[in-house]
Amino acid sequence: MTDLSFLSALDANIVFDHPSLSAFGSGGDIAAVIYPATAKQLVQATALLDREKIPYFILGNCTNVLIKDEGIDGVVICTKYLCGIEVKDDLLYVAAGESMPKLCKLSLEGSLSGLEGLCSIPGTVGGGVIMNCSAFGREFADVIEYVDIVQGGEIVRYSAQDLDFGYRYSKAKSLGAVIGAGIKLKSGDKRKIANDIKGYKIARGRSQPQGISLGSVFKQVDGVSAGYYIDKAGLKGMRIGGAKISEKHANFILNVDRATSADFLELGNYARQEVDKLWGVGLQYEIDII
Ligand SMILES: Cc1cc2nc3c(=O)[nH]c(=O)nc-3n(C[C@H](O)[C@H](O)[C@H](O)COP(=O)(O)OP(=O)(O)OC[C@H]3O[C@@H](n4cnc5c(N)ncnc54)[C@H](O)[C@@H]3O)c2cc1C
């Protein structure tokens, strides 16, 4: 096991032998989790780890990441406490750790439109930038002006065009830790924005299950939901250990009873194999597995 005691030199809060952060509720311990609360602390942490040549993962709210049961014998930088929102007319500068629901609430208060469909996504702004999170035909990239990324101990600003946003893709992933993003919204009618948010929440409640999950497990295939194929394969309700394919939405795996990450993966891999066998369709995980 690598000696990580040098991390104590950092200003940020550090927790050693941290339990898994995955929103699926499974996974082993993490040797060290660093929680930067300011941009300066994030720059300092990445610079130190780079200097010591220690690889690390960057996480937000871990709502799209499964941590394996053996855990992580290494370092995670969790950006969820890197918070702050500055509003200047219709341009918002949002720190990476702010939650999407909070950002949406603030934009509603300011009668700003553009995020209505994304309000129930339970991740952070940093995670949203990396995943280019989307819902109801709108994607986060639609409103992103620029993204600040830590690279080699410096903060570099990338315009949205430089980041090649696509379906669940952003070049930002290969560039470094997201510190914050400039979000451009449009002035709108407060009542309409509130009604739209409500409508999307109702639609989500109708189509998606309650309970512990990582949201959609697999990416769409040529615009078709992976859930369509998993449902057609008759796998809704299938259970392995404590993990179960939702009866309501076949692309969701729920933790119904102390599921392990191995349960999740066995079930996901089985679904993938069946869909491939039946239609020759190769499902790709949307979630990260670390
Ligand atoms: C119930 C539920 C519903 C969901 N619905 C949707 C939906 O409608 N649409 C959708 O797109 N997604 C959805 N998701 C998935 C997930 O919430 C999104 O992908 C979200 O954007 C992930 O944000 P996060 O902060 O949790 O990121 P994490 O899960 O922590 O990380 C996701 C990726 O981003 C990277 N990352 C995170 N923060 C940073 C940072 N600061 N700098 C660099 N890299 C970073 C991680 O390394 C990882 O690769 C849902 C998830 C759940 C549990």
Residue 72 neighbours by CB distance under 10 Å: 21
Active site (annotated) includes residue 286? yes
Select from 206, 230, 260 the last residue of a domain: 206
- Of 130, 124, 100, the closest CA to residue 114 belongs to 100
Select from 34, 57, 78 the last residue of a domain: 78
- Asked whether residue 72 falls in the same domain as residue 99, the answer is no
Which pLDDT score is estimated for 54? 95
For ligand 1, whether the C-beta of 254 sits within 6 Å is no
Q: Is-contact 130 178, C-beta < 8 A?
A: yes
- Give me the phi and psi of 55, to 5 degrees please: -70, 155
- Asked whether residue 140 falls in the same domain as residue 67, the answer is no
What is the domain range of residue 220? 210-289
Q: Is-contact 209 254, C-beta < 8 A?
A: yes
Query: How do residues 192-250 score in pLDDT, each as one tens digit?
Result: 999 999 999 999 999 999 999 999 999 999 999 999 999 999 999 999 999 999 999 99
Distance CA 71, CA 284 (A): 23
- Asked whether residue 22 falls in the same domain as residue 62, the answer is yes
Distance CA 147, CA 93 (A): 9
Distance CA 49, CA 245 (A): 39
- Asked whether residue 109 falls in the same domain as residue 184, the answer is yes
Q: 181 C-alpha to center of ligand 1: Å?
A: 15
- Asked whether residue 14 falls in the same domain as residue 72, the answer is yes
For the chain, the distance separating the N- and C-terminal CA atoms, rounded to the nearest angstrom, is: 18
Q: Whose CA is nearest to atom 51 of ligand 1?
A: 215
Query: How do residues 150-198 score in pLDDT, each as one tens digit?
Result: 998 999 999 999 999 999 999 999 999 999 999 999 999 999 999 999 9
Domain count across the chain: 3
- Asked whether residue 24 falls in the same domain as residue 58, the answer is yes
Q: 218 C-alpha to center of ligand 1: Å?
A: 13
Select from 78, 109, 136 the last residue of a domain: 78
For ligand 1, whether the C-beta of 193 sits within 6 Å is no
- Asked whether residue 146 falls in the same domain as residue 222, the answer is no
Q: At 68, list the tokens.
A: 């394996």
**Mean of pLDDT values over 122-141:** 97
Q: How confident is the model at residue 89 (pLDDT cuts 50, 70, 90)?
A: confident
Give the dihedral sign, CA 37/43/48/54.
positive
Distance CA 136, CA 232 (A): 23
Which pLDDT score is estimated for 90? 85
Scored b (16 or more CB within 10 A) or e, 272-284 reads: bebbeeeeebebe
Q: Whose CA is nearest to atom 10 of ligand 1?
A: 133
